[in-house]
Structure 1
Amino acid sequence: MQNKEPIHGADATKTAHPSSVSDQSGLLSSKRFLPLFVTQFFSALNDNVYKQAVLLLLIFQAASVADGALYSNLAAGLFILPFFLFSGMAGQLAEKNEKSRLIRIIKFCEIPIMVIGAISILTQLIWLMLATVFLMGLQSTFFGPLKYSILPQHVARDELTKANGLVESGTFVAILLGTIFGTYYITQEAGPMYISIAILALATVGFISSRFIPLSPANDPELNFTFNIFSSTKDVFKTLNAQTESVGKSVVGISWFWLIGAIILTALPNYVKHEMGGDELVVTAALVVFSLSIAIGSLLCEKLSRSRIELGIVPFGAILITVFLFLLSQEPNISAYRDVPESLLTVSEVFASGDMIYHLIWMGAIGIAAGFYTVPLYALIQQRTEENSRSRVIAANNVLNALFMVGSAIISIVTLSVLEWSIPQLLLLLAGLNLLISVYIYTKVPEFFLRFVIYMLAICMYRVRTKGEKNIPDEGPAVIIGNHVSFVDWMFILAASPRPIRFVVFAPIYYSKSLHWLFKMAKAIPIDSEKANPVAFQRAFDDVAHALERGELVGIFPEGKLTGDGSIDTFRRGIERIISRSPVPVVPLHLGGLWGSMFSRKTKWRLPRLRWSLVSVSIGEAVAPKDVEADALRAKVIALKEEHSPDID
């Protein structure tokens, strides 16, 4: 029995979001984002000013090197411990309550914590310093799920990558500034007083800015909250397991990044001193390069993503991280740049050298690649997680991040202390492990690799101009139809779409030896002619119906064949049959600029020529199910061609 009612109404295919702004500076100045950005920036800045100052005080007060190492590791462990114990509770609280109020409460708590911290620095009581570090970790534990889950409530979907890029870049700039400030002033005669004033002032500014964060309704007010840390932690991981594989593996990918970052930052001073032969200022320069590069990469990610969540950049970032970790693992020839054996190079000497400067470049390249890698993953988690579970998923992510950071310490201890490896050998191990982890993630979630292939072919080999991409619904089922110009039309449509699309592909092409792996990865639906294989023909329509029932996008080319002369042929009635069974919106589009390319029939009898040309994807407004008719859809595609692409075709 056929369902004559639309699966989703017109309102169901759109989600109400704030209006987007055109660039990062516009978003940064908006009242819906700026207060959260400022709050997060000063929170990260304050954490690192205090932690760095305390770290140096603990080392200076230690009776021996072993005691200094013990205090340092104890402080790091106490900061991470709350993430293990209380992230589950933090995720549940963020899910159940209005978020801006919770943030204000948490930021207010930072003020008395910093009062205790100031007393600990002025009195230099070790136990009070360690207690403050634990309280700071506790506060960060409850703030983490809020700052990421609140973003989708205040920024549009096409701003998520932009917003995450700004948050990540601001965070790493704050980490850098906090580390430098804490290191410099705690060594001054009046340093403890300067640090005490600074942390109290930063906590106050953070609380004031938090008062301007817009209201953010609770995602799940009826959620059962528990004070049992084991039950709450189990709950957030149960919620994570209920998400799609892409969300789960994104969490793993982010946690892996924190493992790599923790190892690099921990090993950086020794690497610069013993492998590059640099002095203390060179260590600072390397820290500046690495931190600022992550910030730059986070901002560049939005530009390369064309203001969308572009998963194709994630494998690109992973490949770059592997390559530059390998280059960084190649030991430089220090003796060639030393006038006196065992002397340390200054910053000017490092910049004047040929080999040393490259190692700073490799550090910067790893940082930029890290921005490419992490920003789309954070945005994907926010977009593809249901609102009533987003905070708990982020809480589970925080637990895994903490676990991987502990793993980074274990890897460093085992390789450097037990096995007595050099730091370059450790970096080489990281490069290999990063490659293996990346292959694992992209094998489990082929969408990442597919988007990478599409990004490299459709974006890097061609200039793709997209118009009307907002006409593709943010969620819910729809059928995407367009003219059929080349063998790679589907790639350019996927490149223009913010969502995955399952294309209906002619069976002989789908099962071809050279392309079957790619179409299988794209979850394409094979179809054969009704006369040649009626069973496969009917199965394709069943698969399309099932995909639409699950709320997916399905793409078809109603002409049923490639154009032989560049014109738009008659649309077959298969689209009407699909909509009759599954009444969903139909989104028409026109592809321009591909006729005459190496993938079209125009080049059939001559040597294909690869050229960097302009391709247009013009997307029209959705057609309601009741208005779907093959000839009318063809007319809309022709109108799109005349309206948007006369200069291309």
Structure 2
Amino acid sequence: MHENIPKGEEPSANKEPSASKEPLIIPPTKNQNPDHFKGGLLSSKRFLPLFVTQFFTALNDNVYKQAVLLLLIFQAATVADGALYSNLAAGLFILPFFLFSGMAGQLAEKTEKSKLIRIVKLCELPIMVIGAVSIMTQLVWLMLVTVFFMGLQSTFFGPLKYSILPQHVARNELTKANGLVESGTFVAILLGTIFGTYYITQEAGPTYISIAILGLAAVGYICSRFIPISEANEPNLRFTFNIISSTKNVFQALNAQTESVGKSVVGISWFWLIGAIILTSLPNYVKHVMGGDELVVTSALVVFSLSIAIGSLLCEKLSRSRIELGIVPFGAILITLFLYLLSQEPAITAYYEPTDVLLTLSQVVNTGDMLWHLVWMGAIGIAAGFYTVPLYALIQQRTSEDSRSRVIAANNVLNALFMVGSAILSIVTLSVFEWSIPQLLLLLAALNLLISIYIYTKVPEFFLRFVIYILAICMYRVRTTGEKNIPDEGPAVVIGNHVSFVDWMFILAASPRPIRFVVFAPIYHSPALHWLFKMAKAIPIDSEKANPEAFKKAFDDVAEALEGGELVGIFPEGKLSDDGSIDVFRRGIERIIERSPVPVIPLHLGGLWGSMFSRKTKWRLPRLKWSLVSVSVGEPVAARDVNADDLRMRVEKLKALYSPDAE
């Protein structure tokens, strides 16, 4: 993959480039400045108060919901009544997301967010007073009313907690911040579920629960008062109380975003469908498939919830503190694999004689392959963290600032819709068709594979990043220095030495942003590689003498990409190195910058000369040990200072940062 811009005059026609319809990077929030981002996340006021507020909100929700669920079941005269009450409670909690998410998104867009969070948290106090009364009196209708108001509060809090993050978190911290929020949420769900289940069954349980929900609401409100001010993204936005108009507005905001944002919303909603089915089916799966008792059910819930938290935290490490979309397909593949393994019923008869008595946790751990089923549950949770965290971060980064809250509100509506779909799917398969839970899990595995293929076909960037990520991990160790010299937003041209056919992949692996590379047209159109280059949105170029139209169009495409705020990558040598050294840089880079005055970022690639992808050896097999590839990124060169010879000298200097002994 190389520039191959021949010497000669630039095309005479100067077509004005149009702005890209899908800018890949959105400018940062207005109030961001470097000093604001000093300090670690959990030790800084810019993140810790929001994290703690979110944690206690999720904890309080689940303490109350779990206690109410058990009370409703105990209050019911029959099993059917108990099922009706529990489903009614679940429906009432989700209903506000359908009705009021549009208003919540609009309000979060036009209002200072920290103030709005404090108002929402203040409203939680009277809601929990009603909730405490409902638990002490055990009035079913009052419990259901409280559940509805809790759902309403969550509806207005959701767009705030996610849209506020990009205002107080640096771009290279978004993945970590979302990982912490997700892990904290699922730990809170777990603790709330266990606490609510245990204490409501005690003699003084209603009193304990009432004190807990009031105390948690108070602590959450106090923490919210320390959240720093966050400017309104769109203070002039017209707010409407019309449910239909407001919902339509948030989906219009979603449709105006790039396809990667839209498909990320679909991916997140699909995860909530899978998660809802697993959580609701878990007790019956443990009891009827694994033969475990109540403690085994609790253990399975702990394993699944904590694994999501672990996966969310690991995601930041695997992403190298960036938004790494290559992890999303990896997570999707693992979810499909472990759903399939979980759908295979354990062979307990060979190890344990079945009886009517349910197995204890120690018996499950030591019986047949049932321990592995707990492992599969944990693996699904970890994979879910890999899958969701980058998607949330991508939505926050690539959504325009003046519509971010509304996009998140639209995401909440779709999440609720998919969760209703999970209930319908469970009822149809388990009750109507009388499938077993393992059969339902097998169907989920197949559907997850199909949904993943659909998303990655529509947004090839996910699959491309996955291929690059796997290549960088499995075959090479990539050491990047100076990657902060690649700007977070705005146009620039990235140039470097050209030693192998996969140089562009390693530059992409080192870059926090997508880069569109200029490719020699015959290679671009080759049957074996065309699909890959098209997926990478590469720009084909040919010799001006051989194909003047293609030559001119390449310059137009480069100018259009730069006008749209994208990064463009070229290899100014115009060919692969024959001996590993850096050849003369051609003047095509100067023509590009003359037409589009943007910064140029020099870099040096080390460690690829002599590999199977270079010209040193035609038939070199991959080495079994990991090879070190060095990507050294230099400081940007201003457009007025761009000179081909000077750029070559800068790349030569960067070569000194690579140690050949490390190969």
TM-score bin, normalised by smaller chain:
over 0.9
In the alignment, is the contact (CA less than 8 A) between 1:572 and 1:630 conserved in 2? yes
Q: Residues of 1 paired with 2:232 and 2:413: CA distance?
A: 22
Q: Residues of 2 paired with 1:20 and 1:496: CA distance?
A: 26
Q: What are the residue-to-residue correspondences of 1:152-163 with 2, within 5 Å? A: 152-163=166-177
Q: CA deviation at 1:471?
A: 1.1
Q: After superposition, give the CA deviation of every residue in 1:438-465 in whole Å (9 maximum; x if it has no partner).
A: 0000000000000000000123321111
Q: CA deviation at 1:20?
A: 8.8
Q: Residues of 1 paired with 2:402 and 2:243: CA distance?
A: 20
Q: After superposition, give the CA deviation of every residue in 1:263-310 in whole Å (9 maximum; x if it has no partner).
A: 000000000000000000000000000000000000000000000000
Is residue 218 of structure 2 the alignment partner of residue 204 of structure 1? yes
Partner of 2:250: 236
Indicate the SS of the match to 1:487.
coil
Q: CA deviation at 1:340?
A: 5.1
In the alignment, is the contact (CA less than 8 A) between 1:17 and 1:157 conserved in 2? no
In the alignment, is the contact (CA less than 8 A) between 1:486 and 1:601 conserved in 2? yes
In the alignment, is the contact (CA less than 8 A) between 1:155 and 1:163 conserved in 2? yes
Q: Select the structure with the greater relative contact order (CA < 8 A; seq sep ≥ 6).
A: 2
More moved, 636-645 vs 332-341: 332-341
Is residue 481 of structure 2 the alignment partner of residue 463 of structure 1? no
Q: What are the residue-to-residue correspondences of 1:44-443 with 2, within 5 Å? A: 44-339=58-353, 341-443=355-457
Aligned length: 642
Partner of 2:495: 481
Q: Residues of 2 paired with 1:606 and 1:210: CA distance?
A: 60
Q: Residues of 1 paired with 2:307 and 2:27: CA distance?
A: 39
Q: Aligned partner of 2:568: which letter?
A: V
In the alignment, is the contact (CA less than 8 A) between 2:611 and 2:620 conserved in 1? no
Unaligned 5+ runs, structure 1: none
In the alignment, is the contact (CA less than 8 A) between 1:335 and 1:341 conserved in 2? no
TM-score normalised by the chain length of structure 2: 0.94
Q: Residues of 1 paired with 2:147 and 2:469: CA distance?
A: 44
Partner of 1:565: 579
Identity rate, percent: 84
Q: Relative to structure 1, is the Cα distance of residues 383 and 313 closer, same or farther in structure 2, using a 3 angstrom cutoff? A: same
In the alignment, is the contact (CA less than 8 A) between 1:92 and 1:225 conserved in 2? yes
Is residue 647 of structure 2 the alignment partner of residue 633 of structure 1? yes
Q: Residues of 2 paired with 1:4 and 1:324: CA distance?
A: 52
Indicate the SS of the match to 2:350.
helix
Indicate the SS of the match to 1:315.
helix
In the alignment, is the contact (CA less than 8 A) between 2:347 and 2:368 conserved in 1? no
Q: Residues of 1 paired with 2:126 and 2:53: CA distance?
A: 17
In the alignment, is the contact (CA less than 8 A) between 1:56 and 1:183 conserved in 2? yes
Partner of 1:552: 566
Q: CA deviation at 1:93?
A: 0.5
Q: After superposition, give the CA deviation of every residue in 1:94-129 in whole Å (9 maximum; x if it has no partner).
A: 000100000001001101100000000000000000
Indicate the SS of the match to 1:45.
helix
Q: Aligned partner of 1:599: which letter?
A: F
Q: Aligned partner of 1:484: which letter?
A: H
Q: Residues of 2 paired with 1:277 and 1:22: CA distance?
A: 52
Q: Residues of 2 paired with 1:458 and 1:171: CA distance?
A: 32
Q: After superposition, give the CA deviation of every residue in 1:217-276 in whole Å (9 maximum; x if it has no partner).
A: 000100001111110000000000000000000000000000000000000000000000
Partner of 1:613: 627
More moved, 466-475 vs 449-458: 466-475
Q: Aligned partner of 1:600: which letter?
A: S
TM-score normalised by the chain length of structure 1: 0.96
Indicate the SS of the match to 2:579.
coil
Is residue 594 of structure 2 the alignment partner of residue 580 of structure 1? yes
In the alignment, is the contact (CA less than 8 A) between 2:250 and 2:410 conserved in 1? yes
Q: Residues of 1 paired with 2:622 and 2:211: CA distance?
A: 69
In the alignment, is the contact (CA less than 8 A) between 2:628 and 2:662 conserved in 1? yes
Q: CA deviation at 1:339?
A: 4.0
Q: Residues of 1 paired with 2:553 and 2:264: CA distance?
A: 33
Q: Residues of 1 paired with 2:213 and 2:549: CA distance?
A: 71
Q: Residues of 2 paired with 1:442 and 1:339: CA distance?
A: 46
Q: Residues of 1 paired with 2:28 and 2:304: CA distance?
A: 40
Q: After superposition, give the CA deviation of every residue in 1:374-427 in whole Å (9 maximum; x if it has no partner).
A: 000000000000111000000000000000000000000000000000000000
In the alignment, is the contact (CA less than 8 A) between 2:339 and 2:445 conserved in 1? yes
Q: Relative to structure 1, is the Cα distance of residues 322 and 316 closer, same or farther in structure 2, using a 3 angstrom cutoff? A: same
Q: Aligned partner of 1:549: which letter?
A: E
Q: Residues of 2 paired with 1:221 and 1:177: CA distance?
A: 38
In the alignment, is the contact (CA less than 8 A) between 2:336 and 2:445 conserved in 1? yes
Q: Residues of 2 paired with 1:229 and 1:528: CA distance?
A: 55
Q: Residues of 2 paired with 1:462 and 1:64: CA distance?
A: 62
Q: Aligned partner of 2:386: which letter?
A: F
Q: Relative to structure 1, is the Cα distance of residues 408 and 17 closer, same or farther in structure 2, using a 3 angstrom cutoff? A: farther
In the alignment, is the contact (CA less than 8 A) between 1:13 and 1:477 conserved in 2? no
Unaligned 5+ runs, structure 2: 1-12, 20-25
In the alignment, is the contact (CA less than 8 A) between 2:348 and 2:368 conserved in 1? no
Q: Residues of 1 paired with 2:99 and 2:585: CA distance?
A: 60
Q: Aligned partner of 1:463: which letter?
A: R
Q: Residues of 1 paired with 2:353 and 2:574: CA distance?
A: 74
Q: Residues of 2 paired with 1:464 and 1:223: CA distance?
A: 46
Q: CA deviation at 1:570?
A: 0.3
Q: Residues of 1 paired with 2:622 and 2:302: CA distance?
A: 48
Q: Aligned partner of 1:185: which letter?
A: Y
Partner of 2:4: none
Is residue 518 of structure 2 the alignment partner of residue 504 of structure 1? yes
Q: Residues of 2 paired with 1:296 and 1:606: CA distance?
A: 40
Q: After superposition, give the CA deviation of every residue in 1:345-377 in whole Å (9 maximum; x if it has no partner).
A: 100001112310000000000000000000000
Aligned Cα RMSD in Å? 1.8
In the alignment, is the contact (CA less than 8 A) between 1:272 and 1:283 conserved in 2? yes
Q: Residues of 2 paired with 1:176 and 1:379: CA distance?
A: 24
Q: Residues of 2 paired with 1:564 and 1:4: CA distance?
A: 38
Q: CA deviation at 1:597?
A: 1.1
Q: CA deviation at 1:639?
A: 1.1
In the alignment, is the contact (CA less than 8 A) between 1:13 and 1:473 conserved in 2? no
Partner of 2:3: none
